[in-house]
């Protein structure tokens, strides 16, 4: 890790486009007093991939707890995935979610509509009716298995001026796997998930996106092959962006433990995949960092790698982990990380900043303690990690939504 005094000296010279340092002492923000010595203000973060679980699974998370967790992590906007009950596949079902958002959200929440009815991959949802109220269309949690179904979805989304946001997973290649098909799986007798199960559908969809002209976004990229396909598609003019998550940028199969907090979908891949993703973030092939915040109950995550449900939480740890393990070691510039958390997702999904911002203490180390989370979910692979970066305040729409 670099000498911290040198790092902070460099940060002070950052353009105001990304952040500015307050003078030593305290200042008033909307009536609150904050000690802002050596603190930085950044634009409010935007996460285009979260699971808020309401309606249908409020024992895992609610709009209220999920958005408070987001605010605690510096986020002022999130895009909520549609694997809910009922699935928002028509305007009536979507209204259940919109009602909860209007009632309980403390930050901006922008829902996705499902691509197919019930996310079953058989019949397209009522995309026309939902289009004015959703940020895009996704069957996240399930890959659209049919090439023809995805082609029709892209054509419909293109006509509506909406983006297709794809969870890319070929069910025929899963073969009962639940972690990466690699050395750890072989050594511990776990069935593995091959990398082709991700990059195969991406290759198919990139071809369809080129033919239809649809705006296409790839969720949670985890393999180097996926990244290279996207890199080449961008060069050929396909309207494609992609995201990855903090855990894929900082962890790999070498870090696995027999614990549900290391189980997510896609799984942690090889070290070479992680290194490729870090490089891809640095060169801009990875456009966006999203958390895939996916809370479950303690019991659902207590069954080890084999029996636990897929998914970890991430809204409250994303920036500290990225800052500590990518920026401070000099692997990725702070400017690039901030763009992937702020401007890039807003550009791609047409979301306004509204002058939102967050205030960070970058100088005081602390240990990640899931017991302190605002989220109902506690399962994170980063528990116990020593990090820099504590969110002091988050302001959205002229209102303090988080104050440390």
Instruction: Give domain limits for the chain.
Output: 42-403
Q: Which fold has domain 42-403?
A: TIM Barrel (3.20.20)
Containing H/E element for 95? helix 91-104
Per-residue pLDDT, 30: 53
Per-residue pLDDT, 15: 33
Q: How far apart are CA 155 and CA 306, in angstroms?
A: 39
Cα 272 from chain centre: 21
Both tokens of 121, joined, read 């991959």
Cα 374 from chain centre: 17
Per-residue pLDDT, 398: 85
Q: How far apart are CA 383 and CA 310, in angstroms?
A: 17
Per-residue pLDDT, 35: 58
Does residue 292 have an active-site annotation?
yes
Q: How far apart are CA 127 and CA 130, in angstroms?
A: 5
- In sequence order, the 6+-apart residues with CB closer than 8 A to the CB of 171 are 143, 145
DSSP three-state, residue 3: coil
Both tokens of 253, joined, read 């199969």
DSSP three-state, residue 137: strand
Q: Exposure of 215 by Cβ count < 10 A (0-12 exposed, 13-18 middle, 19+ buried)?
A: buried
Per-residue pLDDT, 17: 43
Residue 272: count of CB within 10 angstroms of its CB: 11
Kindly report the pTM of this predicted structure: 0.93
Both tokens of 341, joined, read 């958390």
329-361: pLDDT as tens digits? 999 999 999 999 999 999 999 998 778 999 999
For residues 347-384, one letter each, b for 16 or more C-beta atoms within 10 angstroms of the residue's C-beta and e for the rest, the string is ebbebeeeebbbbbbbeeeeebebeebbbbbbbbbbbe
The counts of H helices and E strands in the chain are 14, 18
Q: How far apart are CA 166 and CA 173, in angstroms?
A: 17
Both tokens of 158, joined, read 């293109």
Q: How far apart are CA 42 and CA 173, in angstroms?
A: 42
Per-residue pLDDT, 39: 82
From the first residue on, what is the mean pLDDT of each consecutive set of 10 residues in the chain (404 residues)? 41 44 49 63 96 98 98 98 98 98 98 98 97 98 97 98 98 97 98 98 98 98 98 98 99 98 98 98 98 98 98 98 98 97 97 87 95 98 98 92 94
Q: Indicate which residue of 292, 339, 356, 361 is catalytic.
A: 292
CA end-to-end distance (rounded Å), the chain: 27
Q: How far apart are CA 384 and CA 317, in angstroms?
A: 11
Q: Is 41:395 a contact under the CB 8 Å cutoff?
A: no
Per-residue pLDDT, 3: 43
Cis bond before residue 55 (omega within 30° of 0): yes
Both tokens of 129, joined, read 């009716």
Both tokens of 115, joined, read 């691509």
DSSP state of 54: T
**Torsion sign (Cα): 271, 273, 277, 279:** positive
């Amino acid at each position: 890790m670099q000498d911290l005094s040198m790092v902070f000296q460099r940060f002070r010279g950052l353009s105001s486009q990304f952040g500015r340092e307050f003078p030593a002492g305290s200042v008033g923000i909307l009536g609150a007093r904050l000690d802002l010595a050596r603190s930085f203000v950044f634009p409010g973060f935007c996460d285009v991939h979260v699971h808020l679980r309401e309606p249908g699974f409020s024992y895992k998370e609610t709009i209220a707890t999920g958005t408070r967790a987001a605010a605690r992590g510096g986020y002022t906007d999130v895009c909520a995935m549609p694997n809910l009950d009922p699935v928002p596949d028509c305007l009536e079902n979507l209204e259940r979610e919109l009602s909860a958002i209007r009632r309980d959200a403390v930050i901006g929440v922008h829902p996705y509509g499902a691509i197919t009815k019930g996310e079953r991959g058989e019949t397209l949802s009522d995309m026309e009716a939902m289009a004015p109220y959703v940020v895009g269309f996704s069957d996240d949690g399930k890959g659209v298995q049919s090439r023809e179904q995805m082609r029709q979805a892209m054509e419909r989304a293109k006509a509506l001026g909406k983006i297709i946001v794809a969870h890319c997973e070929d069910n025929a290649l899963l073969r009962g796997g639940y972690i990466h098909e690699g050395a750890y799986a072989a050594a511990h007798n776990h069935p593995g998930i091959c990398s082709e199960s991700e990059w195969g559908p991406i290759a198919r969809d990139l071809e369809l996106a080129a033919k239809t002209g649809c705006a296409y976004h790839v969720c949670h990229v985890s393999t180097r092959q996926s990244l290279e396909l996207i890199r080449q598609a961008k060069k050929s003019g396909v309207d494609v962006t992609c995201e990855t998550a903090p855990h894929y940028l900082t962890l790999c199969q070498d870090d696995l433990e027999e614990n549900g907090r290391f189980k997510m979908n896609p799984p942690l891949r090889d070290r070479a995949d992680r290194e490729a993703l870090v490089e891809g973030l640095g060169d801009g092939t990875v456009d966006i960092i999203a958390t895939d915040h996916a809370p479950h109950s303690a019991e659902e995550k207590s069954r080890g790698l084999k029996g636990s449900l897929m998914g970890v939480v991430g809204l409250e740890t994303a920036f500290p982990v990225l800052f500590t393990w990518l920026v401070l070691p000099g692997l990725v510039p702070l400017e690039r990380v901030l763009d992937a958390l702020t401007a890039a997702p807003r550009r791609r999904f047409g979301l306004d900043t509204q002058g939102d911002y967050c205030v960070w203490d970058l100088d005081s180390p602390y240990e990640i303690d899931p017991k302190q989370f605002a989220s109902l979910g506690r399962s994170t692979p980063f528990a116990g990690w020593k990090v820099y970066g504590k969110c002091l305040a988050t302001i959205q729409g002229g209102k303090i939504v988080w104050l440390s």
